[in-house]
Structure 1
Amino acid sequence: MVHMIECAHTLAEASGAAPLAAAYRMRSELSNLKVGLVCSGGNTSLEHLKYALSEVD
């Protein structure tokens, strides 16, 4: 969720950011490929966003 905010400048709930997390984990397998990801969901709360951002080192 935080990585999506920082890199894509897009706010998505945690489940909406899951495709980016999966692609990031598979980055060596996906290199040199065109990849499309579906980012959906905005059902996060301000409290959850604050918590996610507070966990960043």
Structure 2
Amino acid sequence: MLIAGGPVEQLDTVLLDSAHGGVFLDAEAQLSRYRRVINDVERAALGVVESRDFVHRLAQRT
């Protein structure tokens, strides 16, 4: 999933990519939904240091 956005939100586009090809979404309802998804993912994501430490701990297990 990629949100291509800029200073004019009405021109933003979402690209959903899959094994079967890509789909471009630009309707405001669709954009709002994917903006919420991205915001939720960003809030749940680990920071840079926490991500590095997590990957390091996983690598030590193998």
TM bracket, shorter-chain basis: 0.3 to 0.5
Report which of the two has the higher share of helix: 2
TM-score (norm 1): 0.33
> Which one has the largest radius of gyration?
2
Greater fraction strand: 2
- Structure with larger RCO (C-alpha < 8 A, sep 6+): 1
- TM-score using structure 2 length: 0.31
